[in-house]
Each structure stands twice: as structure tokens, then as C-alpha cells.
Amino acid sequence: MQRLAWILMFSVWASVAQANAPLPGDIIRDLKALQEQLEEGAVEAVAERASSQAQRLSGGNASDRWASALYHQLAAGALARQDQPAQAADHLAAARQTSGVGTDQAARWLREEASLRRAAGQNEQAIGLLSEWLDSEQDTQALWRLVGLMAQEQQWDAAAERLEQAIGQTPELNESQQALALAVMRHAGQNEQALSWLVDGLSPDSDIETWRQAAGLAQQAGQAGVAAGLWEMAWQLGKLETPEDQWLLIQLHMAGGTPARAAEHLAQALENGDVESDEKTLRLLATAWQQARHVDNALSAWQALAEQTQAAKDWRQYGQLAYAWGEETQAEQALEQAASLGDEEASQWLSNFD
């Protein structure tokens, strides 16, 4: 706010020099006196005097109207110094709408008004003003501010359109710009574009949150295999090391069509004691090896599960799988166990061995 107030005050004389109509000497002297008072800190007095003069001269000739616009600008600077951005913005709006004000000057005031509206929390008005400014000017910083304002107002589709322009005008995005871009893309439903953009920037030096975001975006975009691959790479790079991370890695491999890798990770976790050897874990291991069609490992896992649960359905599943894979001895033993536990379907299957 203080920086903007200084800009407004300083640019009064630039505006005088570019006047479309000559100003009387008494007006120039008055403007200079008010500026000196403002520099000395008499903000309230300057704001009151400038506002009064702006109102008094607004209906006069071309010279008076130009002077009125400059008084409005001076009042805006004083009010900005008092942390009254909304009132300051109102004065700039009056200044730029003054009849006879040139296009370039009006555009400068429009941009400054947008900054004041933003500072005042008047985001909708700031968005409209910045959009108007950017329709005729190329200003990368203003463009990023507009994207941020649109995001605050949850105008995601509009933000995404402006974001494309902003990225195109920015050689290298800083951390805050990257975070904003990712948020806009995700909320605008552009998950695939966000994923492509994020993955392109991944490297062994990327932090864990960047890897997590990439994997999460892949899931949201329905690319489970890509998510599993990203999580696997992060694991191999040592970015992930907690049991929770490994468990998610296993689940991603299952969803992503790489059950053998899921089984390998789960077997390693069991061996290291990172997960409990309970029914849930053993069932997942057996299912993973089965989906991977690794005969020996799948049958061993199903046998271990059946021995732990002593459930007829698990013995039958083990037996049926062994039979399908040509392991008849294992199949018969498993089905006999299931039948002894009262499984009628297993008894029917045993007739295949008569």
C-alpha cells in the first residue's frame, strides 16, 4: 500500500506533463503545495483538500476537468497512505472516467485502481479491472495476479485460461507460481495437463511433496499405472521410506496392473516385519501372486492363508487354483481339507480325482 501511495504521488507530475489541456498556474502551485504537504505527512488534510478540489472542478472546461482528475489522483495517494484502499480506488475510478483523459493515462490509472481494489479485498472488481487492462497490455506480473485473484474467487475455468497465457510468458516459474498453477489446473479438471506439466519438472532432486502430487494427479486422471510408476520411482530414490508409504505403493501396483511388484514389496515388508502377518496381509499377498500368475508363489501364499484362517472357502480356493494350474496333488489335499470343514462344493470337486 505504501509503495502504491508513493507511485500515485510521484506520478502526479508525470500526468501534469502529459496534460491534454494546459493547467493554470494557481492549480499547478496548489498541486505542488499539496504534494509537499503529503510528503510531510499531512495525509488527512491533503485528502480533504484534494477531494474538494476534484469535486469543484469536475464540471468545468477541459483544463478544469484535467485538474479534477489530477486532484482525484492526489486524493487517492493520500487515502492509500491512510490504508483506505477502497476509497483511494474510488478516486482513481473517477479520475480515469473524467472526460478528456487520454487512453494511456486512463490505462495507468485503471491498473493502479485494480491494485487498490485487490488490497481492499474487492476481488471481483479487481478481476474485472485487471482483465480489462490485460486485454490491451502485456504484463506478466499483472497476469499472475489476475490468476491468483480468480483462484481466490474459485473462478477456475477463467483462471485456467489466463494461466495458459501466464505460463507462456514466464520463462521459469517460481515456487509460488508453480503451486498456483497446479491448484488451478486441478480445480479446473485439467488433471492430465497438470500431470504432464508436473512430471516434466520431476527430477531426483524434487522434494517428496512434488512426487506425492504427481502420483495423486495420476490417480485422479485415471492413470493408475502411471501413479504406481511414479511412486515406485520415488521409493527407489529413497524419497519414501515409511510403512505407510510402502503400503500405498503396494496398493498402487495392484490398481495399476503390476501385481508382481505389489507382491514383491509386500513379501519384503513381511520379511522385514514392517507389516503384520495377519489375514488381510496374507490374502492380499496371495491375490497379488495369483493375478501375476506366478504359480509357485501364488500356491504357497494361498496355502499359508488357508492354514492361518482354517476357512473352508480358502482351502477350496487354494485347491481350485492348484487344479487349474495342473498341480493335482496339492489340489486334492487342499480340497479334502475344505471338504472336511463342511464345504459341499469342495466335495463335488473331489470327484475329479476318482
Residue 98 belongs to domain with CATH number: 1.25.40
Cα–Cα dist 198/182, whole Å: 8
How many whole angstroms from its chain centre is CA 25? 55
Q: Is residue 78 part of a domain?
A: yes
Asked whether residue 336 is domain-assigned, the answer is no
pLDDT tens per residue, range 96-142:
999 888 888 888 889 889 989 999 999 999 999 999 888 888 889 99
The Cα–Cα gap between 160 and 338 comes to 59
Residue 26 lies in a domain: yes
Q: Given the C-alpha cell 527407489, which residue does it identify?
A: 236
Number of domains in the chain: 1
Kindly report the pTM of this predicted structure: 0.62
Name the strand (E) or helix (H) holding 348. helix 344-349
The string of DSSP letters for 269-287 reads HHHHTSS--SHHHHHHHHH
The residue segments making up the domain with residue 35 are: 1-131
pLDDT tens, per residue, the chain with 354 residues = 555 554 455 455 555 555 556 788 898 889 888 888 888 889 899 999 999 999 999 888 988 998 999 999 899 988 988 889 999 999 999 999 998 888 888 888 898 899 899 999 999 999 999 998 888 888 899 999 999 999 999 999 999 999 999 998 998 888 788 889 888 998 898 888 888 877 887 888 888 888 888 888 888 878 888 889 988 998 888 888 788 888 889 999 998 899 999 999 999 989 988 888 999 999 999 999 999 999 999 999 999 999 999 999 999 899 889 888 989 889 889 888 988 898 788 778 887 776
CA 95 to chain centre: 37
As a whole number of angstroms, the distance between CA 338 and CA 341 comes to: 5
Q: Which three cell numbers stand for residue 107?
A: 490505462
CA atoms within 13 A on the CB side of 209: 4
Q: Is residue 106 part of a domain?
A: yes
What are 126's three cell numbers? Answer: 479487481
Residue 252 CA to residue 10 CA, distance in Å, equals: 60
Q: Is 171 within a domain? A: no
The answer to whether the CB of 292 falls within 8 A of the CB of 298 is: yes
Of 69, 55, 54, the C-alpha closest to 21 is: 69
Q: What is the dihedral of CA 328, 333, 334, 339, to 10 degrees?
A: 120
The grid cell for 166 is: 501466464
Can you tell me the distance from the alpha carbon of 9 to that of 117, in angstroms, rounded to the nearest whole number? 18
In terms of Cβ atoms closer than 10 Å to its own Cβ (0-12, 13-18, 19+), residue 251 is middle
Measured in whole angstroms, how far is the alpha carbon of residue 49 from the centre of its chain? 46
Structure confidence at residue 10 (pLDDT): 46
Q: Quick check: is 144 in a domain? A: no
Among 295, 301, 262, residue whose Cα is nearest residue 282:
301
Distance separating alpha carbons of residues 53 and 249, to the nearest angstrom: 70
Read off the pLDDT of residues 141-187 as tens digits, 9 standing for 90 and up.
Answer: 999 999 999 999 999 999 999 999 999 899 888 878 888 988 899 88
Note the pLDDT of residue 20. 59
Q: Is residue 281 part of a domain?
A: no
**Distance of CA 286 to CAs 167, 303, 315, 318, Å?**
48, 9, 12, 10
Q: Give domain status of residue 2, yes or no.
A: yes
